[in-house]
Structure 1
């Protein structure tokens, strides 16, 4: 097959050009259909239990994703001045008119109630700020009122009185960027000197999507320009350098066009496909061009030279492409859909780049004019064949690796142990807000508002009552009583709603009962159902509410939670005003009837549906809303651990279960799934790559030697991450696949060429001397091209892109260095088994001397 492919490329270049051009045009036509997706929830599969439960909770408790708008005042009276409150009132009124906003759920001073005592035993609900106050006294009174309302204090107004917030719920979180932009425009029209900020996870995610799209359009061309400049520097021929660039462009366009054409959205992961493929796609081309420029001389037949080069490089390039692809395909083993898509398309893009390289580059070379090739040869060999930096330094590096092989291997072992210690220090953490630089508006808003308020990040602890309402004996008796009046009891579980429906129906039938026996059966059934109705409304039980209040107090004391909001806060507030309005009456009623009375009173407010954010309509579920000042996974994990400890010391009331939901918790779930999945995929890829290496070289020993660069590179990079205290996030996690693939690329080329040269020389020193000429220059050029090709990412405004740029340069530098130092050292140490002197030949340069220099 190899010979047929090479022959087709060199004999039918126009067909090659036409086929690749058709592929590019067809796939490029699909790119305008691009759809951007930056929702972290989509890191989990749609049927993931945590995600399903989270969405069910949003539905059960009518919770919406919200934008948080905050106003910060600098004056001595804080936010409670007529001017500041007028601006807030005006802004809130305009926000309520925006498309996509849920007006009835918007939380602001002008939409919220003040709860006060009316006549004895009654309660009064009045808007806190139906109209903006005209005097300073009236403005201060609003602040005093908010301080008495636990659901609003430090949520709607900061504890220091310097800031106020507007919570803007959205029907669809995908609208958050557009709505936020409209709110920013409204803010510019306000007559206010206050500082306004906008934050919230929906805004951060959609803002990232917009900037990610821009970054895709900037970084890929910049990376291409950098790669072009570097290859021109190495090969000094613009026409010759065009070929690798065509390979890279064709690969990126075809891969991204296929991804979009197949209906996949472009997530934060898949947005990096173009950036990853641009440098990787030129790897094989650089090997081909490096070998070709070393062999070609003026007057040579370009077709013959390029055919010879392809014969030598075809197998190493094939295996390096396959192993690199395997590294990325291993990501498909993770349970994270965007990571799976990223791995699948980068892996496929690498294989496509190999196919295009072995077809396009030879076809392009044979179509170049002899004068162009002769000019290239004159510049390269006439001026700098032995004067370049690589040409001068690499031979010395080879001699050093051979002569100091034991010290190098011992040093590598020490570095490996230190790296493993660093890996043990890695902390898994991510936060979409931290995807922006520290000086970005989103980051500034997040820092400022979370400094003033209890927290803009949400987590929900959901309590559910799973008690069975009927035992089998009682159910049988109830069924008999109902049957006596013509009602069949359903075999399904008896829900609170079903009990209420039965009581209503029995009440109707009591009016039409024609005999005493029927009336007696109705009364017996009602006597059974009424206690069940009370028992089923579990979250009217003062003991249950008292347990919830205890958990809230413990969380507040822990300092991990800015604030918690729950049903007991509503009950205590209303109960205080019903009794006396004094602080000592801020307590729970002593009976379920008393609790029910407070909630009935609350439903006379202007926002009666707020109750259903904290308890389900059947009173069988309740939600504790936790406000966190950080969206970091580590913070959320600490909160979960704290509550687990509390549950161990204070068990849930009998029959209750606790489950987590909320965006902060969902981020923890997908991060844990990603890390465990990455660990499994990396381990699988290691095994597969080792097997492939052993098969390629037909030697388990060579398979082990080939694994040295990738093992030490991955360990060193991730050990460094641990020692530097850098959080292990999504971009860092996926780079292991890239490190694996490219480190093996260098190892395969080095070992394959070493064995081929050794067959001719029979001498290890001579072999390594020759290896540190053209083959090592090709490896070094590749490492430099790829490493520097990612440097445009350092200018990106988005942290994940910067992280990729830094780590990619580091991976290339480490893997190339390890390949050029450790592999010669290992081959020297294991010469007897790895590269024995053929019988009948004598090693002219024995290891005891340094004459290889």
Structure 2
């Protein structure tokens, strides 16, 4: 309470009352668009800083072209394969074949000398492990007149005698169709490498060495997983050089078509480059690798980033055309106010579509693709709402007459009005299209064949075909045996059981040949005891004695590829001509049943290993996880749309383009015969994030107009048509951008790009036809929704 005896205080009270009577002036807080336009330097810093941070990860990028990247490292086949690699050193080698013309014997002096020389010299290359195998390293098993074993080299390097080498080879039936072709017209060298997943340099050196050693008339062919991985690494490097320039050209042309001014595409190009750099840099920051499928990532992010740029720029050009006397800043603020929310909504939902890959896929390359793809999308969103407006308000002006696209706008308006006025016809047409698409989609199958990563006529396919035609095939299926104790496999019972397993596996029609150390023990028994071919020793210690006798004249390391030093572990190796998942799956299942039954009968532990078992394991994982991956992506996109649009009806309508795009994507796969494999399995999840963009932009525009009291036909005119035009150019730009991936040297990546492009067009169909039709039926239910 004031004191009346103090006049100064009374005067202050009077002043306070006067101020209260007048009132405080109302503070006008700056809008989001006002901050963007009014603080350009701060805005540019906010937009470009994340790009700089993510781009720093480019220095930590590592390339990994291997198929092994897709395999879970806790899968039993993977663990058994790693144990086999450490124990026997022959997993996923490079295979080099010296081939004569069919029908011409390879047992001639020049060819034998070339194989012998190559066997010795390739072992000295960096990256090659000990244990190179060929008839230049193998020995025959013979008995002397005194009853001892001798092990002469099949190729005598000091005096090459083709007839003598042929005679010795024919004493070793286990080498037929493995190191020597069935018709004896080609010779194989198996080269173990230190890291078959990164073998570009060593396989290149092998090729040079083999070509130098090969005599005239002898062709050199290289295959094997190590060689294929090296070839895929070449594809990655080549694709990267092609994709980015081609994508810039294609996207630039469609931006020019959409924005109709050369200067107007500079801002979108900045967004495209910044988002692509951020996505690729994020790979290094999270410690991931540049996998085969990652090759398409920059193009994917670039194509997606274009959409936001088109929406903002067309909105700005329309605002300028509607009020030519206003300032550019005012027009840009109006454009940002119009499209900022839809851009944020679509970016979040697209990022969640990518995140569905990260959550649902058990394969690290696919999960990482989803994670860094989401980073690229959100950086594109940030750049589109910060840096892009600053550039476009200076460069994207068009005369009012040019800002309109009369022919296209008229066509799009007619489609929207027809769908709204005749929803029954529109839905019937859609039902026919979707029914046909579902019928085609039902033909899609899960399958994988490593050959599909190469184009017809590629050197590795020629080599692979030669292995299938002249040898037992290059597709390896191993069984690793564990006796549980050292020397446990050098007993008569163990040898008999191993050979029994071989014979049971050889009875499977799809398996060409099966080998093990039991072949050599049988030969020793035959040669030392004049036993019949195929007979096995019955004395318990006979195999150990035979091995001791062999080591007296041969090399103890001659059996390292089949039997470990402690004689506890053994490898039984089978060869398959066909490496296709759908064909090998029943073989793997049958072999697994035989091995399990054999283990129970013998008490010896057996585990499936080899490339075919590993491929089967990760394809089973992919097949099991695919519905979860797609379901997670679609559910996350719908939930985000539901939350952001604040209504079940609007969110469901916005999802219609998603469903139409996914259905037509699978239909294309079924019609063309494209299998669901690692790369193509990602398409639907990505399409889910892309397709909802069109629905969100159109539904948000409809909601805002209906909330202001306009009827549906009035809401479908004016700015709605401009949004449709932006969606049209976005879809076409997306399709064109993804089509660039079809330039890849790898067929699987071609399919990936074309399928996403097809899905984008399918989503556009759903956006232009289904959204107005369903809105005409349901708009009353969500017209009161908060816009």
Fold shared, TM-score > 0.5 on shorter chain? yes
Which position in structure 2 is the counterpart of 1:658? 606
Answer whether contact 1:36 1:266 (CA < 8 A) is retained. yes
Q: CA RMSD in A?
A: 2.9
Distance verdict in 2 for CA 1:834–1:184, change over 3 Å: same
Asked if the contact 2:203–2:230 (Cα under 8 Å) also holds between the matched residues in 1, the reply is no
Kindly provide the CA deviation profile for residues 84-137 of structure 1, in whole angstroms up to 9, marking residues without a partner as x. Answer: 2233233333323322223x4111222111222212532220110022876xxx
Query: Which residue number corresponds to residue 518 of structure 2?
Result: 568
Are the equivalent residues in 1 in contact too, given 2:211–2:220 (CA < 8 A)?
no
* Deviations 1:728-767, CA, capped at 9 Å, x for gaps: 1111111122100011111111111122233346322333
Q: 1:122 maps to what in 2?
A: 148
SS of structure 2 residue aligned to 1:830: helix
SS in 2 for 1:406: helix
Bigger mean CA deviation after superposition, 248-257 or 545-554 = 545-554
Q: Distance in 1 between matches of 2:374 and 2:137?
A: 53
1:412-451 pair list within 5 angstroms: 412-413=430-431, 415-416=433-434, 419-420=437-438, 422-451=440-469
Deviation at 1:653, TM superposition (A): 1.9
**Equivalent residue number for residue 305 of structure 1:** 331
Mapping of residues 497-516 of structure 1, within 5 Å = none
The 3 A distance-change label for structure 1 pair 392 and 366 is closer
SS where residue 69 of structure 1 aligns? strand
Checking the alignment, whether the CA contact within 8 Å between 2:647 and 2:782 is kept in structure 1 is no
Deviation at 1:36, TM superposition (A): 0.9
Distance 1:175 1:366, change over 3 A: closer
1:40 matched to 2:58? The reply is: no
In 1, Cα distance between the equivalents of 2:356 and 2:519? Answer: 50
1:11 matched to 2:34? The reply is no
Q: Which residue of 1 aligns with 2:186?
A: 163
What residue in structure 2 maps to residue 377 of structure 1? Answer: 399
**Preserved CA contact (<8 Å) 2:131 2:561:** no
Indicate the residue corresponding to 2:241 in structure 1.
217
Structure 1 residue 41: deviation in Å? 2.2
Equivalent pair of 1:465/1:620 in contact (CA under 8 Å): yes
1:598 to 533, 546, 555: 546
2:476 is matched with which residue? 458
Shift of 1:778: 0.8
Query: In the superposition, relative to structure 1, how do residues 593 and 684 fare at CA in structure 2: closer, same or farther (>3 Å)?
Result: same
- Contact 2:51–2:379 (CA<8 Å) still a contact in 1? no
| Residue of 309, 313, 317 corresponding to 1:285 | 309
Cα gap change, 1:193/1:15 in structure 2, threshold over 3 Å: closer, same or farther? same
Query: For 1:363, what is the secondary structure of its paired residue?
Result: helix
> 2 CA distance for matches of 1:90 and 1:622?
29
The runs of 5 or more residues in structure 1 that have no matched partner are 467-495, 498-536, 839-853
What residue is the counterpart of 1:472 in the other structure? none
C-alpha spacing 1:175/1:602, structure 2 compared with 1 (3 Å): farther
| Kept in 2: contact 1:6–1:362 (CA 8 A) | no
- For the 8 Å contact 1:754–1:771, the answer to whether it is kept is no
**How far apart are 1:549 and its partner, in Å?**
2.9
The offset of 1:172, in angstroms, is 3.1
Corresponding position of 1:493: none
Contact 2:354 2:373 in 1 (8 A): yes
Answering whether residue 98 of structure 2 is matched by residue 150 of structure 1, we say no
**1:763 and 2:787 are equivalent in the alignment:** no
Counterpart residue number, 2:196: 173
Report the counterpart of residue 80 of structure 1 in structure 2. Answer: 107
Q: Distance in 2 between matches of 1:8 and 1:214?
A: 44
Pair 1:748–1:27, CA change in 2 (3 A): closer
Structure 2 partner of 1:510: none
1:268 maps onto 2:292 in alignment = yes
Q: Secondary structure at the match of 2:572?
A: strand
SS in 2 for 1:154: coil
- 2:96, 2:223 within 8 Å by CA — same for their partners in 1? yes
> How much does 1:295 deviate?
2.9
Give aligned pairs, total: 755
For residue 151 of structure 2, give the secondary structure of its aligned residue in structure 1. Answer: strand
Change (3 A) 1:117 1:246: same
For the 8 Å contact 1:154–1:453, the answer to whether it is kept is: yes
Determine if the alignment matches structure 1 residue 822 to structure 2 residue 770: yes
Preserved contact between residue 478 and residue 573 of structure 2 (Cα < 8 Å): yes
Q: Displacement of 1:25 after TM fit? A: 5.0
1:58 aligns with 2:93: no
Residues of 2 paired with 1:544 and 1:193: CA distance? 46
2:527 to 566, 577, 580: 577
Cα separation, partners in 2 of 1:196 and 1:21, compared to 1, 3 Å: same
Among 684, 692, 702, the alignment partner of 1:744 is 692
Q: Deviations over 1:184-241 (max 9, x none)?
A: 2234434321111111111211221233033223202311221011111222211111
- Is 1:722 the equivalent of 2:670? yes
The 3 A distance-change label for structure 1 pair 367 and 142 is same
Q: Is the 8 A contact 1:86 1:133 kept in 2?
A: no
Give the match for residue 480 of structure 1. none
1:62 and 1:542 mapped to 2: Cα distance? 26
SS at match of 1:214: helix
* Number of the residue aligned with 1:539: 489
- Aligned residue for 1:159, secondary structure, equals coil
Q: Determine if contact 1:187/1:196 at 8 Å carries over to the other structure.
A: yes
Task: Give the C-alpha shift of residue 269 in structure 1.
Answer: 3.2
Corresponding residue for 1:99? 126
Q: Is the partner of 2:351 in helix, strand or coil?
A: helix
Contact 1:763 1:837 in 2 (8 A): no
Give me the whole-angstrom Cα distance separating, in 1, the residues matched to 2:167 and 2:288. Answer: 53
Q: What secondary structure does 1:613 align onto?
A: coil
Q: Give 1:424 deviation, angstroms.
A: 4.7
Moved more, 551-560 or 746-755: 551-560
* Shift, 1:690, TM fit: 2.2
Instruction: State how far apart, in whole Å, the 1-side matches of 2:54 and 2:632 are.
Output: 32
Residue 343 of structure 1: how far off its partner (Å): 1.1
Q: Deviations over 1:662-697 (max 9, x none)?
A: 233222222322333332232123222222222233
TM-score, length of structure 1 as denominator length = 0.83
In structure 2, relative to structure 1, the CA distance for the partners of 1:82 and 1:107 (3 Å cut) is same
Return 37-46 or 233-242, whichever deviates more.
37-46
Cα distance between partner residues in 1 of 2:102 and 2:641: 70
Distance 2:537 2:180 in 1: 28
Q: Using the TM superposition, name which of 777-786 and 673-682 deviates more.
A: 673-682
CA contact (8 A) 1:235 1:241 kept: yes
Q: Please give the secondary structure, in 1, of the residue aligned with 2:601.
A: coil
CA shift in 2, pair 1:385/1:715, >3 Å: closer
User: Contact 2:599–2:606 (CA<8 Å) still a contact in 1?
Assistant: no
Deviation at 1:656, TM superposition (A): 3.0
1:784 counterpart = 2:751? no
| Per-residue CA distance 1:416-449 (angstroms, 9 max, x = gap) | 4555555554332334443121122222222223
Map of 2:702 onto structure 1: 754
Query: Shift of residue 540 of structure 1?
Result: 3.8
Pair 1:699 & 2:647 matched: yes
In 1, Cα distance between equivalents of 2:82 and 2:154: 32
Correspondence for 1:519:
none
| Structure 2 partner of 1:615 | 563
Distance 1:658 1:400, change over 3 A: farther
The corresponding residue for 1:534 is none
The CA deviation at 1:311 is 1.0
Given the superposition, is the C-alpha separation of residues 385 and 58 from structure 1 closer, same or farther in structure 2, using an over 3 Å criterion?
Answer: closer
Structure 1 residues 805 and 316: CA distance shift in structure 2, 3 A? same
CA contact (8 A) 2:313 2:392 kept: no
Alignment check: 8 A CA contact 1:20 1:250 kept: no
Indicate how the Cα distance of structure 1 residues 700 and 168 shifts in structure 2: closer, same or farther if over 3 A, else same.
same
Contact map agreement 1:416 1:712 (CA 8 A) in 2: yes
